[in-house]
Structure 1
């Protein structure tokens, strides 16, 4: 008797049991059932992204159109989210503003991850660079991210590209520290030492043996960086040092509406709700990915 129930082959499991495979080998339906936050975050983020991508077709008015006769009107059938102090349609500006926030989130997440991986692997595997690179990273982390971004924006002209760079720089040290810590562990593994002994070049070792083992934590870290980037971009725009004031962005809209809270609260309300929904969606997605990609958490469920 091999112990398999009802003649099932060795290693078969009951339907309610958890497979012994790693999370990367689990079927997609299993991730959704065991990690509902992953599904909720993905759906919310897709909804916000769909609004932003469809802005040219969804927006009933040009976001820059000024109508002095329609100043600070409440939500209505014509202006779904009302109008602002210049008579511009709040709904049109809100959906167009989503493009700015999502562009910043995606660009900062990718740039910070790519730069952090390059610097972290250098610090972890090229030992003579470790002390210098990490002291630079420690110096950047000693400055609050928003203050560093404001200082960088003061050196450039207000533009979307400048905002992306200003937000990326404070986020890079977080990725560098993560990648370096993983690299210090992975470089001592037997398969890495064997590759060294066989004369494999360092770039090949990094691409074939090291980076694949960093994918899961890097994906999770990138989502949290993206969420922080959305908030930082809104904060910079709110303070007047972000994207140009005429550009429709959630931070600019809230900055313009703060002076009219008592008489036209909707100017501040709707971009704030979209901002909070986007950050919540990205954080839920990150939490779900963390739980799904961590083998130890998967086996505990």
Structure 2
């Protein structure tokens, strides 16, 4: 009788690396930078609500209804009403426009003037000392106090608020640009451009500024967040935008006397302000990690 062949033990097949689930590059990038995505989406949502205020607001932000004063949130008034019967939701939505305008304007102006002054101090050696001493003097004064002083000698308006907040933010950008300029001017490609007779403006535009874009973008986000907070603080103290203008700072200033009986008047503007600043800071952190991977690994 013939013998049956014995079964041979075989190892279980090992899954090849190619059998791993494929993740599209875009989703890998999203998973790698979650703070950038979350901050960007949150900021876009706040900006969309603010821009769409004429269509989203359910009431005119200036309409006064004494019979409906300090009502709690309801189906008619989503965020309730304030001490004058004005709809808090409508005023909060319109107030977002002030914060968005101030944040974007201050970031652009501070970056523009900071780049000009910082490059001047970094590449014109005799001007470095005097310019930076002036910047140090401005930074020695707390930004909110300097803004209050500037508002005290001007007329209250949105434009003067933007100018008053921009001035204290310029030195921070100047110091960043100057430090980058001092490093870049020693690079071989910049020295080679000098050696062949390239004019300084051309060197700055072709070789220096492109290498400053990433840190300047990140710094601009932090300037915008600080500007939104400073505008709300100035309005809360009564030296910001005119009192009749719907802004989160004005709303919280008007509601601070009614916290015990109508907490919603100050709650919702405060939450929107916190969400906006958080979104900008998350966006800045995400941009820093995405634009400078070496720094992200160090952190």
DSSP 3-state at the match of 1:200? coil
DSSP 3-state at the match of 1:73? coil
Q: Is the 8 A contact 2:91 2:246 kept in 1?
A: yes
- One of 269, 272, 275 as aligned partner of 2:273: 275
In the aligned structure 1, how far is the partner of 2:218 from the partner of 2:264?
Answer: 34
Tell me which residue corresponds to 2:161: 163
In the aligned structure 2, how far is the partner of 1:272 from the partner of 1:36?
Answer: 25
Q: Is the 8 A contact 1:115 1:172 kept in 2?
A: yes
Tell me which residue corresponds to 2:287: 289
- 1:178-218 deviations in Å (ceiling 9; x for gaps): 00000000000000000001111100000000000001110
In the aligned structure 1, how far is the partner of 2:108 from the partner of 2:26?
Answer: 25
In the aligned structure 1, how far is the partner of 2:159 from the partner of 2:296?
Answer: 39
Tell me which residue corresponds to 2:71: 73
Tell me which residue corresponds to 1:22: none
Shift of 1:33: 1.8
In the aligned structure 2, how far is the partner of 1:224 from the partner of 1:273?
Answer: 19
- One of 224, 227, 230 as aligned partner of 1:229: 227
| Shift in CA distance, 70/132, structure 1 to aligned 2, threshold 3 Å | same
| Shift in CA distance, 154/257, structure 1 to aligned 2, threshold 3 Å | same
Shift of 1:128: 1.2
In the aligned structure 1, how far is the partner of 2:250 from the partner of 2:160?
Answer: 16
- One of 135, 140, 152 as aligned partner of 2:150: 152
Tell me which residue corresponds to 1:239: 237
- After superposition, the CA RMSD in angstroms is 1.6
- One of 131, 134, 148 as aligned partner of 2:132: 134
Shift of 1:298: 5.8
| Shift in CA distance, 92/190, structure 1 to aligned 2, threshold 3 Å | same
In the aligned structure 2, how far is the partner of 1:298 from the partner of 1:286?
Answer: 13
Q: Which runs of 5+ in 1 are unaligned?
A: 1-13, 17-26
In the aligned structure 1, how far is the partner of 2:163 from the partner of 2:34?
Answer: 34
- Number of paired residues? 278
Shift of 1:28: 5.2
Shift of 1:31: 3.4
Shift of 1:297: 3.9
1:110-129 alignment runs, 5 A limit: 110-129=108-127
In the aligned structure 1, how far is the partner of 2:50 from the partner of 2:26?
Answer: 27
Tell me which residue corresponds to 1:5: none
In the aligned structure 2, how far is the partner of 1:238 from the partner of 1:272?
Answer: 11
Q: Which runs of 5+ in 2 are unaligned?
A: 1-17
Q: Is the 8 A contact 1:81 1:91 kept in 2?
A: yes
Q: Is the 8 A contact 1:31 1:292 kept in 2?
A: no
In the aligned structure 2, how far is the partner of 1:300 from the partner of 1:196?
Answer: 34
- 1:101-145 deviations in Å (ceiling 9; x for gaps): 010000000000000000000000011111111010000000000
Q: Is the 8 A contact 2:38 2:279 kept in 1?
A: yes
